[in-house]
Chain A
Amino acid sequence: MMTQAAELPWFAAVPVALLLLAGAGLTLVGSLGMLRLKTFYERLHAPTLGASYGMSCILLASMIFFSVLQTRLVLHEIAIAILVLLTTPVTLMLVARAALHRDRLEQSQGVPASARRRPDGDAS
């Protein structure tokens, strides 16, 4: 296990380790939010933690690790970064709109009836 890592100099190993821990920590906090936050719309914010800087840190760690190990630039992780960065907002927006649609059909409390500001000024 980890036979190649012995060849890794310390100036690459330290940032890789730190980035891995930071990224995994942020992702864990985001997923903890899935447990701890109370309503659906609050939980909608939780996955973005892992999908923004959590993902970037871990992919950066992977890029540094393989680039130093193979002594050439290994950048194909950028493909995953672009994919996750572009798709996460899209899926979250789709799910949010679907949830809003369903809540309005069921006439749930605390969900705005429309995006427009009413002249009579409903509070929610």
Chain B
Amino acid sequence: MRRLLPHPVVSGCLFLLWLLLNGTVEPGPALVGLVVALLGGWALALLDPGQPRLRRPGLALRLAGTVLVDVARSNLAVTRIILGLNKDRQAGFIRIPLALREPQALAVLAGILTATPGSAWVEFDAEEGWLLLHVLDVGEEEEWVRLVQDRYAQPLMEIFA
């Protein structure tokens, strides 16, 4: 089973995407999709990205919900800034210490922070674990540190533990 399906989640996603693009569940396209999904899984196993283990799917779903709400809120805040409704704001760089070391978890965190309009991941120092973040409206620096550490990094550490 391990040899046939080295990355079951990735293969499953590939299969679903194939069905979506074809728009049918007829046996012909589905069979081709199955072959594509298997080949994709093997190719990924050859590249050997390491086996990420998703520990707590419930927590992952809750984190996804949090991110959706946060991105919506940040969208509104950035809209106000661009339209010039928020005059007394200060853009700047913020340094945040991170205990997270898992490459997959860091990639997800980078995606979350950059996809949020108000903040952008700029650099990560892997040796000492410092993250350099650029934010559009700094406000309280402590709040940003707490937001990243407690709201995102903590759940990610539990999910990818």
Contact = CB atoms under 8 A, between A and B. Distances in A.
> Do A and B interact?
yes
Interface residues of B, number: 37
Q: A-side binding surface: helix, strand, loop or mixed? A: helix
Contacts of A115: 95, 122-125, 130-132
B23 interface: yes
Contacts of A33: 78, 82
Contacts of B119: 45
Interface in A29-88: 29-30, 32-33, 36-37, 39, 41-42, 44-46, 48-49, 51-53, 74-76, 78-79, 82, 85-86, 88
Given A53-B71, A76-B23, A44 B95 contact: no
Interface residues of A, number: 40
Contacts of B128: 116
A79 B22 CA distance: 11
Given A46-B82, A116-B128, A96 B121 contact: yes
Contacts of A41: 91, 93, 120, 122, 134
B135 to A, nearest CB: 8
B110 A93 contact: yes
Interface in B80-112: 82-84, 91-93, 95, 97, 110-111
